Amino acid sequence: MTNNETTTENQHEMNPSGFDETPQIVSDDTPLNVTIDWAERKKQRDKRVKNAREKVEALIEPPGEKVTIDDLQLEVPKPGETVVVLQRNAKDNRDPSSELEIGTLIPEAAEHVKVQTKESLDNILSSLSSEERKKIDFLVVAANTKLDTPLGEEIKSEHKRAVETAVQVLAGIKKSMNEFELSDSQLLNKTDEPIELSSGRMNDLHMLKDSPEFVEFLKNKYGTGHEFWKAYEDDSERKTREAMGAEGPDDIAKRVGEYMGVLANAMEQYHKQHPDRRVIVWVESHYDAISPFIKHAAGMDNTDYLSVDNGAGVVVKLGKVEK
């Protein structure tokens, strides 16, 4: 597509049914066969995303010693507001001797996510009147990372842990929606499945796939256990990492922040079109994406270890958008 091109169909500024990072830069009321300055539209969008990212990061409060399930205190969004749940995947199997496949969610952990989601949403919906309940929407998105580790083929899997966790979140949401007799249209996942984010911004470590030379360097120097991960998270081998072109903790924090900015900007556009709607969005990701992002946003150092329990995360309420 050229910078100035005629569009022959309506596109959306924010497309909740395909909530990925692909720019949707024409509003609903754009006439057919109109010439669009795509470069200028993208420039404006990028500026909005940057501003939205900075707002989100400013809302992240310094955590305690670790991020636990108790930190997932779902809040009631007001009309025109979005609440974002940034959650780590449920615990998965890493034991080769187990009957479970490597990388698949442990059944008890998967069930706990579903139950926790339903209970949290039940509390929200029970606090609203029947009319207010009709004006709250839900969206579930997930990183599409497949399991990879420094151990190579021994602990590797095609399972997408965040997506499988999102399936459980969605099941909990649907159950709560059914009990409160909400409309299917209030679920913005129009395919009835979690939306898999394809850009890689919310994915686990890129290093394991993209930078095998640096992975081998760390393995040879630190082994594959705790010291490997500590060296990476502390970025104590920064010069070598940068020389080998590997992604570091600051890079991860930046890309996660960029997606959160994309999401926040998209919700701003949604609320401008639907100012009376409330939205709750679940973003399912991984420890190695969430921890660096929280540390960066909260002003912590890379050397400040921040544990994020499986199934745990943080809740961010995006402020009301003025139309």
| Three-state secondary-structure class, residue 92 | strand
pLDDT band at 43 (very low <50, low <70, confident <90, very high): confident
pLDDT tens figures, 55-91: 888 888 888 889 999 999 999 999 999 999 999 999 9
| Three-state secondary-structure class, residue 6 | strand
pLDDT band at 321 (very low <50, low <70, confident <90, very high): low
pLDDT band at 1 (very low <50, low <70, confident <90, very high): very low
**In this structure, which topology does domain 4-206+247-318 adopt according to CATH?**
Rossmann fold (3.40.50)
Are 253 and 292 in contact, with CB atoms under 8 Å apart? yes
List CB contacts of 206: < 8 A, sequence separation 6 or more. Answer: 200, 247, 252
pLDDT at 259 over 60: yes
Helix extents (H) in 37-193: 38-59, 107-126, 130-133, 161-179
pLDDT tens figures, 117-160: 999 999 999 999 999 999 999 999 999 999 999 988 888 999 99
Q: Which long-range contacts (CB under 8 A, 24 or more apart) does 106-112 make?
A: 109/310, 109/311, 110/164, 110/165, 110/168, 111/168, 112/311
pLDDT tens figures, 200-221: 999 999 999 999 999 999 999 9
Q: How far is Cα 169 from Cα 141, in angstroms, rounded to an integer? A: 10
pLDDT of residue 315: 95
